[in-house]
Amino acid sequence: MPLLPGKRVLVTGGSGFLGGRVLEQLTSHDVAEVFAPRSAEYDLRQPDAIRAVLGDTRPDVVVHLAAVVGGIGANMESPGQFFYDNAIMGIQLIEESRLAGVERFVCLGTVCAYPKFVPAPFHEDELWNGYPEETNAPYGLAKKMLLVQLQAYRQQYGFHGIYLLPVNLYGPNDNFDERTSHVIPALIKKCCEAVDSGAESITCWGTGRASREFLYVDDAANGIVAAAERYSGNEPVNLGSGQEITILELTELIAELVGFQGKLVWDTDKPDGQPRRWLDTTRAEQEFGFRASTDLRDGLRRTIDWYRESSAGQAIPAGASLRTDS
């Protein structure tokens, strides 16, 4: 039986890159009302603000997407902030939701929660078999603690929370700020600017040998809403595309699609991040019928077209390197 029709739904992070797509999806699932307040209205790091937003919206379902995120550089510069902000938001929101009588809590985790070295594709049962990759471990561990909390709350209080583990997202309206952007928007921006300026080369972090899996943002939204409507299990669930690609292959593909024909220079003094990221998505398909439908090439083309038509962000400074993590 569908679990969303007639429900009041609160989406944290609803004004963000992924949140906007989730809101669009929810409107087609017969929910009673959807609320997506901004952080300027309710700072989720503050208990009083959490109690206020829950009191003002009275949700039956909470979808927690809000997070402080960034690339390798941002994670290395602010590990304490990444740990504290993500942990405190989630821990307090789960507790206050329980106290407020929320029926269902949907929590978005991160692929960064997986151990640095784990057989690929990553299966959910491997989540605790090692320590995360060091450059983003504080962020990954903070988000993973929310899984522990949800499972403990289900056991003690009967609180129904589900936990989803998405791979790296991309698509139109992504963050193209060079200080905090992830690898796909950073590469698109750099290659477009190189074409426009006639640059002969671009410089990227790492060796290019690390691999990643990318999920188009609309597919991610579909998966989250499908899980919210149909999944009630206690175990975490991966959300991915099933397509693994090395950073070198990704860079070459984006350069091809943008039309950049110059040289790719790899700064091997910079970290690669986690060696591989590729998820086993069997559980998502079995439990709530989710399978990504957007091919990477097609999704990249749509993202590039959107970027070229927009005035997103400022130019990456000359000589800047690209971060090649999530």
How far apart, in Å, are the Cα atoms of 10 and each of 13, 127, 273?
10, 28, 34
* Alpha-carbon span 303 to 312, nearest angstrom: 12
Strand 161-166, strand 168-170: pairing: unpaired
User: H helices of the chain, where?
Assistant: 17-26, 47-57, 72-77, 79-99, 137-157, 183-197, 217-230, 247-258, 282-288, 296-309
Return the closest-CA partner of residue 229 out of 140, 293, 290, 291: 290
How far apart, in Å, are the Cα atoms of 38 and each of 12, 45, 46?
8, 13, 14
Mark whether 114 is an active-site residue: no
Which is catalytic among the residues 42, 114, 139, 170? Answer: 139
Asked if residues 102 and 61 have their Cβ atoms less than 8 Å apart, the reply is yes
How far apart, in Å, are the Cα atoms of 285 and each of 1, 30, 295?
17, 23, 17
Q: How many helices (H) does the chain have, and how many strands (E)?
A: 10, 11
Catalytic amino acids?
Answer: 139
